[in-house]
Structure formats: C-alpha cells, structure tokens
Structure 1
Amino acid sequence: MSPERLARMKAVLARRQPDLTVVMDNVHKPHNLAAIVRTADAVGIPLVHGVSPHAEFRLRQKSASGSGKWVGVETHEDIAGCFERLRGQGMRIYCAHLSETAVDFRQIDFTRPTAVVVGAELEGVGEEAAALADGHVIIPMLGMVESLNVSVATAILLYEAQRQREAAGLYEQPRLDPETMERILFEWSYPDIADYCRRKGLPYPALDENGMIAEPLADRDGNRRLP
C-alpha cells in the first residue's frame, strides 16, 4: 500500500459521521441504491440501512463506482426493528414524506444525531415508517413535477446535512472511536483477509504505522497461518 493511499483512507475516516445515516425503505432499483450509497460516502456517512421484507437488498458495486466498499450496509426485515436500533443510538428519525405536518428540510437541525428515511421509487416511504418517524420533511417543488427521483432527493437532503455539519465544525475532529477506525481501516486495506478472519472467527491482525500487517495471522490455537 502506498503512503498516499494510506493517508487518504485515514483522512476519510477522520471525517466520517457515525451519527448521520440513511434508511432506504423498500428501495429496490439497483441504480438508485447505488446512487444513494455513493452520496452517503461523499458526505461522510459510514453506514446506511436497507429495509426490505420481501426482496433481498442488493447493491451493484459497478453502479456505485465502488462506493459499496467504503460504506457499510445493514439490512433489516422490518421498519420497526430498524427504527428501534437507530433510536437506541440516540438518533432522530425524519421521513421524506408529504403530510400535513411536514416541514421544509432546511428547518431540520442535522447537526444532531439524525436518520433520513427515503422510500420506494413510486410509493415513497411506507405508512408504518411515516407513523413511527419523529417528523416528516419535504423538498419544496416550484415546477410542474411533483416529486424527485429518490436518489436525487436523498442527495439534496444529505448535502444540507453536510452543509450544517461542516459549518458546525463536525468534520474537523475524528468522530469514530479509535477501535472502529482501526477495524474499518483494516477492512478497507485488506478486504480479502478481513473476510477470511470473519469466516474463521479470527481477530484482525494489527497494522503497523505504514499500514502493513504487523504479524502473520494466527488461528485459535495460536498457529500462524495466512488465508
């Protein structure tokens, strides 16, 4: 690994925002999923959530221009379980949803722990998601069309969050804990070995200051081995 690549990965991790995420409620079209994940990476989101009870959540790496390597995807079978997990992390949950109580998305304080929920291409977010959310947001539309593509709408919402967070200085100091940063750095640097370790139940080997594996892998009995 070149020193420049290692430095870039560390710099990206230092700007990740663990208390900002996106929930994709039954978004199925691969190109929309990929575009949303790509935007998430661009604004520093380390993990997104996909809710899909009837179909497998799939992300095409080619469509995402490789962004799927840099952003984790956590899947859920139901929206209630997803929201419960997010609220356990202290997040406020806002659905992109037209309702009587919906507010302009720019009125939301995105510097607080926030999850943005977007829905399927035609139907929008489900009734359950809308009912369980802390609030609804809309993007003002001044033309003849009544809605935006889900990936475009998500990008608008997330870049408002990025704007607010940058103004508040939230990108200036690392916000991931050191253990998480080390784990993700290893997964980015050595994805095949990371996959091997997960399958074998082995801890990730430590990296030295140059991003190289400090010691060979060892199995549960301490015998050294490489994948």
Structure 2
Amino acid sequence: MTRAVEEAEFLLPERKARIDRAVANRTRTLTVVMEALCDAQNVNAVLRTCEAFGVQQVHVIEGVMKAFDRNKKISQNADKWLDVRRWERTADCLDHLAGEGFTLYATHLDDGAVPLAELSFADKVALVFGNEHAGVSPEALSRCHARYVIPMLGLVQSLNVSVAAAVSLARAVERRTVERGRHGDLSEVEARALRERFYVQAVKQRSRIARALRDR
C-alpha cells in the first residue's frame, strides 16, 4: 500500500471527492506567465485564480522587485496545489513554452491588439501578464503570437493584473470547453500522480497519522 493510499484513508469522503473533482478539471495545456510583477500580493492573487480555474502550472519571471513570497491569506494556500516555476529571464521562459508548442497571448494596449473574445483556445495557450506599471516587456511582446485587450466600457483603460487574469481565465475555460470538448485534460498517469500528491498534502496532523500507521 502506498503512502498516498494510506493517508487517503484519513480523508473525509467529501474531501476526497472534492480532490478527485479538482484533478478531473486540471490542465497543463493552459498556463499563465507573470512577468516581473512588482506587488507580491498580485502574484498571490493570480495564483489563487489559477488554482480556482484548474491551471496546474504557473510561470513567474522574477524582476527587479523583491522575489515573490507566498502569502497564504491572499493565495488561500493555492500555491501548495500548483506547480510554480520561477524564471530569471523572460526569453528563457517564453522560448521554453514556445518550444513546448504553446501559443503565447499577451495582454497589451495597442492598435494591433484583438479583443479577448476573439482568441482561440483550441490548442496549448500561455497567457502573459506584465508588470503593473510598464506592462509586458518588448522582449516578451516580440515572442508572443498575439496581443489582446479586455474591452473596457467605463472610463478606466485597464484592470488590476489579478482581475485581468481572472477575466482572461474565465474566458479561456469557457472557450476550451467549446473548442476542445472539455477543460481538464490530464492523462490517466498524470491524474493518478496528482491525486496521490493531493491526498498526501490534504492530510493534516501528520505526527498523529504517522503514529497510527506505526501502530497498525
């Protein structure tokens, strides 16, 4: 019996069912890139949004600001369920994703940008969000396949980056369901491994459990 199976026995049926449902809706073919965000609270808020929409892997490109630190009050511990990959250079991150077959969409206000609603999510997609003040860097824009905007109906021109990520991911999940037939798309092997990992992470009071396992 594996450790994951042993510890799963300590989960309430409702908790186990919730984990199983979350894994069934997980994907690694939609991802988010945060480039040099200044505010760690925004990073944590985006992580929470990614977890809520089933995005398993997130990429954080470090900038000149203080390195990202988790804030569980804002993220609601979302990062513990995610694969967060850190990068030092924009080029390395985006070239890697392009090499993996991802289409790169950047949020950017210019005449060449298309409305979010016009983007296709039929294939692997990475959404690139830039610095709160400077936006997506020219280096990143040169590597992206399309630029998009979230149409504004009021007087402000843009949204907070965490809100923009939430709106973008909501649209992406909707379009993926239509264009691909479903959002969650992990293979059986990937899903099983992730379920086992989540079972272990979900179990609390590890010392009590360890004692119980030893006393069997």
Which TM-score bucket, shorter chain as reference?
0.7 to 0.9
- Pairwise CA distance, 1:53: 4.3
| Structure-2 residue corresponding to 1:170 | 182
Query: Which of 19, 27, 33 pairs up with 1:9?
Result: 19
- Pairwise CA distance, 1:144: 1.7
Deviates more, 1:39-48 or 1:57-66: 57-66
Deviates more, 1:158-167 or 1:53-62: 53-62
Unmatched segments (≥5 aa) in structure 1 = 194-211, 217-224
SS of the residue corresponding to residue 176 of structure 1 reads: coil
Separation in structure 2 between the aligned mates of residue 59 and residue 42 of structure 1, nearest angstrom: 17
1:50-69 equivalences in 2 (<5 Å): 50-54=60-64, 55-69=66-80
- Pairwise CA distance, 1:192: 9.7
User: Which is helix-richer, 1 or 2?
Assistant: 2
Separation in structure 2 between the aligned mates of residue 128 and residue 28 of structure 1, nearest angstrom: 18
| Greater relative CO, 1 or 2 (CA 8 Å, sep 6+) | 2
Unmatched segments (≥5 aa) in structure 2 = 1-10, 204-208
| Structure-1 residue corresponding to 2:36 | 26
Deviates more, 1:18-27 or 1:32-41: 32-41
| Structure-1 residue corresponding to 2:4 | none
Taking structure 2 as the reference length, the TM-score comes to 0.82
Query: Which of 122, 127, 137 pairs up with 1:126?
Result: 137
Separation in structure 2 between the aligned mates of residue 160 and residue 45 of structure 1, nearest angstrom: 13
Separation in structure 1 between the aligned mates of residue 98 and residue 69 of structure 2, nearest angstrom: 25
- Pairwise CA distance, 1:25: 0.5
8 Å contact kept, 1:57–1:75? no
Separation in structure 1 between the aligned mates of residue 191 and residue 113 of structure 2, nearest angstrom: 36
Taking structure 1 as the reference length, the TM-score comes to 0.78
AA aligned opposite 2:46:
I
8 Å contact kept, 1:23–1:50? yes
Query: Which of 150, 161, 166 pairs up with 2:172?
Result: 161
Query: 2:146 aligned with 1:135, yes or no?
Result: yes
| Structure-2 residue corresponding to 1:98 | 109
| Structure-2 residue corresponding to 1:180 | 190
8 Å contact kept, 1:25–1:119? yes
- Pairwise CA distance, 1:30: 2.2
**Runs of 4+ residues deviating >6 angstroms:** none
Tell me the matched-pair count: 195
Summarize deviations over 1:45-83 as a string: whole Å, max 9, x none. 111110014342322122111211222211111111111
